[in-house]
Amino acid sequence: MQKVITQALLAAEAGALDTADPFGGSYFIEALTDELEERAWELIVRVDDLGGAVDAIEQGFIQGEIEQAAFAWQRAVESGERVIVGVNRFQEESEQRVELLKIDPEGERRQVERTAGVRSGRNAGEATRALQAVREAARGEGNLLPFLREALRAHCTVGELCEALREEWGMYDALHATP
């Protein structure tokens, strides 16, 4: 019985119930595929018209499209137009208490100590050079991955790598982004 319920829920959420016989021939699937392809090409043409992907990003087009799609999706979920099993349909009758993760202060202290141990046990000059190489690579057009790998081999922390990239690229701020 559980398997039947699960299949029914998945069919509803996936949209398989949008047609009388979704597996009676491939028309339904082909129509969905054609619609997806058509919409993808429309976006590709719009990006090309803006001068390519980099220009589209710099003009805020990509971020705007993501924000608009997220807003439309959320509105469809909240109105019930888009079915999300367990969220806006097929919900449990009784509320289950969800146990929130609580960070153990002792575990946090141990992690801070481990990080300090890694930093004190590494070759400081090698780590500094690796971080500088990451910064220089971030300024260029090349592949950043080899430099990140080298920095990790030099025992640089993920936090240090993120900070180096933030120093070069800054942080995205949707409130102050230029469209």
Round to whole Å and give the CA distance between 36 and 17. Answer: 18
Q: Stretch 45-66: mean pLDDT, rounded?
A: 95
How many domains does the chain divide into? Answer: 2
Q: What pLDDT sits at residue 32? A: 82
Measured between alpha carbons, how far apart are the two ends of the chain, in Å? 52
Query: Of 46, 79, 112, which residue sits at a domain end?
Result: 79
Q: Is residue 7 in some structural domain?
A: yes
Domain encompassing residue 147: 120-170
Instruction: Tell me the per-residue pLDDT of 72-117, one tens digit each, with 9 for 90 and over.
Output: 999 999 998 888 877 887 777 777 788 888 889 999 999 999 999 9
For residues 75 and 134, state if they share a domain. no
Report pTM. 0.45
- How far apart are alpha carbons 61 and 152 in whole angstroms? 34
Asked whether residue 9 falls in the same domain as residue 62, the answer is yes
| Residue 85 covered by a domain | no
139 inside domain: yes
